[in-house]
Chains A and B, each alone.
Chain A
Amino acid sequence: MGAGSGKLIEIKGLWKTYGTVHALKNVNLSVKTGEWVSIMGPSGSGKTTLLNIIGCMDTPTQGHIILDGTDLSSLDQRQLTEIRRDKIGLIFQQFHLIPHLTALENVMIAQYYHSMADKAEALEALGRVGLRNRANHMPGQLSGGEQQRVCIARALINYPRLVLADEPTGNLDEVNEKIVVKLLEELHMEGHTIIIVTHDPWVGSLGDYQVYLEHGSIKSTVEATGT
């Protein structure tokens, strides 16, 4: 299921070096539209680095990433920012909500940056993550799981083609983990392409396939067996 038509991401010979540390060494990967990819591997293996480069938040030292037909390495900061705004939804392990804005406003700010703030739509998105009644609460008044759901609502409010999640369940308990995973599955069903970094084997197993990184290189790619 889920395998879409064209390639959304094509990564060729990707290197990322921090001084003497090779965070990524010759990574090649392609992701089709609508696919759900889990990236796994030990700590320090380069997962976050890879995700950041795909998410236009970091630039490769060498190699190419073609996102939706555009070669990211030919773009400047401005254009990268536009791509981030128009095509990508980000979910963070630490949620990163603006502390002095309510849940609703945190969602609306992404809307505003993308096109136009629309309260009804933002409320609907919060409703989708089950937080309609918490819309006017500040992040400090929400639990970690609730904050993560606000973060998801914010990520999907602009209908991004690609959702990138870096350990979205890393800080959550089992119940909240399930809720978040369910939301991601729904997004997947709707046709969003999802790349998720996780340490959790169960969460990883939900993807169409799992990419194992070790010391900055892809060690193996495993097709999903179950669901």
Chain B
Amino acid sequence: MFLTMMKRSVSRGWRKKALAVLTVALGTSLAVATLNIAMDVGDKVNRELKSYGANILVTPQVEKLEDGDFSPMGGGQSFLPEDRIPQLKMIFWKHNIIGFAPYLKSEAALPGGEKVIITGTWFRQLLVIPTGETVTTGVRDIKSWWQAEGDWPDFGTNEAMVGEKLAGKLSLKPGDFLVIVLSGKKYELKIRGVLSSSGEEDEQVLVNLAWLQAATESKGKISSIEVSALTMPRNDLARKAELIGPDNLSRDEFETWYCSPFIDSVIYQIEEVIPGAWARPIRQITDSEGAILSRIQALMSLLSLAAAVISVLSISSLMGATALERSREIGLLKALGAHNSSVIRLFLVEACFIGVIGGIIGLWAGFGLGTFIGQSIFGTSISFKPLAIPAAFAVSAGVALLGSLSAARMISQLQPARILVGSLANG
């Protein structure tokens, strides 16, 4: 009997039901879209924030000097081994390492006797990882704000970039040659471009790392590495690890910490693979990043919440209206002896039907919408988050049920006598 009534009730107001399905579908799709974006926005914005530059600096460990002079400029007592760089792409969070560049700094003399800092680095270089993968990275990738007038030096040549200020001082332009003296020997560098970095590099000469290593007889040695890694904002565990040191965490906590892309755990893993390295966060980047990320995620979560509230609201009014419209029928059912619960059950089953159908449609539409939005804002598609499926189902079922609550309340308050009097009263 219940089934027959269900069937009739479904076939009766099919337009209204279609409208309800449409509303749930719309609500769900929008909630799913915002939810999906909210889930992925961290990743997306994280990548965007990488345009601020590298967030990890790796240098050789410093030891306390017992005696002798220490000049921060002359420095360079210890080095890192260049052949360990590929290891960066083999740590646990290797996919989060999105770029890096090694540096070797030295002091050169200009023909006039003036001192100038010469930096050897990778401009953009192909690197083969022992696992067989290849990566292309270098300063051009991690310093997106660097601009070159002219061109960038080719790999394996004696071509150089000259900082904008230095170029101004010496009136150099791309295509010119620059003579420098490095550890007593004279070299001629071909200037490929003039670099504008709005930083200290504007007063330096940049050359290929291999060239500088050869010239200074420091093959395989580098003085620092800048790493650009995707990390997640610090949480309580991360702060605890920072406070007491990761090695003092309990086993489980350490496991969790190690397997979360916190800046500190990525740093820990880098230090593991590069012997003698001291990796540390570039706080200007990492700290700000965390703040910005959590803001944006909070904002997006609130927006998803708003979308869900609106969905509940629309279903609620729709179901409420349906119940009102059918109050005559409900009154009759109750007059015939139906319990509140059985009438409400009729409505709830209906609501579930609507919720499930609308939810399925909305889920797909939502993914489509999310992808579209991701595509148009970030230029890359929003990755499919499996967690969004149960979330979407929860949302649509919740929306439909919560939305039917007002209808259910109305049904139980309805007095059959009042409904059956006067035919317009059902209007």
Binding site for B on A (CB under 8 A): 94-99, 139-140, 147
Contacts and interface: CB of A to CB of B under 8 A. Distances in A.
Contacts of A96: 423-424
Secondary structure at the B interface, as helix, strand, loop or mixed, is helix
Interface in B400-426: 418, 421-425
A139 B423 CA distance: 10
Contacts of B418: 140
B72 interface: no
Interface residues of B, number: 7
B337 interface: no
Given A97-B424, A139-B425, 12 more contacts: A95-B422, A95-B423, A96-B424, A97-B422, A98-B424, A99-B422, A139-B421, A139-B422, A139-B424, A140-B421, A140-B422, A140-B425
A94 B424 CA distance: 9
A140 B331 CA distance: 14
Contacts of A98: 424
21 contacts: A94-B423, A95-B422, A95-B423, A96-B423, A96-B424, A97-B422, A97-B424, A98-B424, A99-B422, A99-B424, A99-B425, A99-B427, A139-B421, A139-B422, A139-B424, A139-B425, A140-B418, A140-B421, A140-B422, A140-B425, A147-B422
B324 to A, nearest CB: 12
A179 B109 CA distance: 122
Interface string B323-359: 0000000000000000000000000000000000000
A48 to B, nearest CB: 15
A94 B427 CA distance: 13
Contacts of B423: 94-96
A147 B425 CA distance: 13
Contacts of B425: 99, 139-140
Nearest to A92: B423
A140 B420 CA distance: 9
A140 B422 CA distance: 6
A147 B421 CA distance: 10
Contacts of B421: 139-140
Contacts of B427: 99
Closest 10 CB pairs of A and B: A94-B423, A99-B425, A139-B422, A99-B424, A140-B421, A140-B422, A96-B424, A99-B422, A97-B424, A140-B425
B229 to A, nearest CB: 67
Contacts of A139: 421-422, 424-425
B418 to A, nearest CB: 6
A95 B423 CA distance: 8
Interface centre among A96, A97, A140 (most CB of B within 10 A): A140
B383 to A, nearest CB: 54
A12 to B, nearest CB: 34
B270 to A, nearest CB: 74
A97 B425 CA distance: 9
Interface string B176-220: 000000000000000000000000000000000000000000000
Nearest to A96: B424
Nearest to B417: A140
Contacts of A97: 422, 424
Contacts of A140: 418, 421-422, 425
A107 to B, nearest CB: 15
B399 to A, nearest CB: 31
Interface centre among B423, B425, B427 (most CB of A within 10 A): B423
A151 to B, nearest CB: 11
A134 to B, nearest CB: 14
A91 to B, nearest CB: 14
A96 B427 CA distance: 10
A98 B418 CA distance: 14
Contacts of B424: 96-99, 139
A103 to B, nearest CB: 12
Nearest to B419: A140
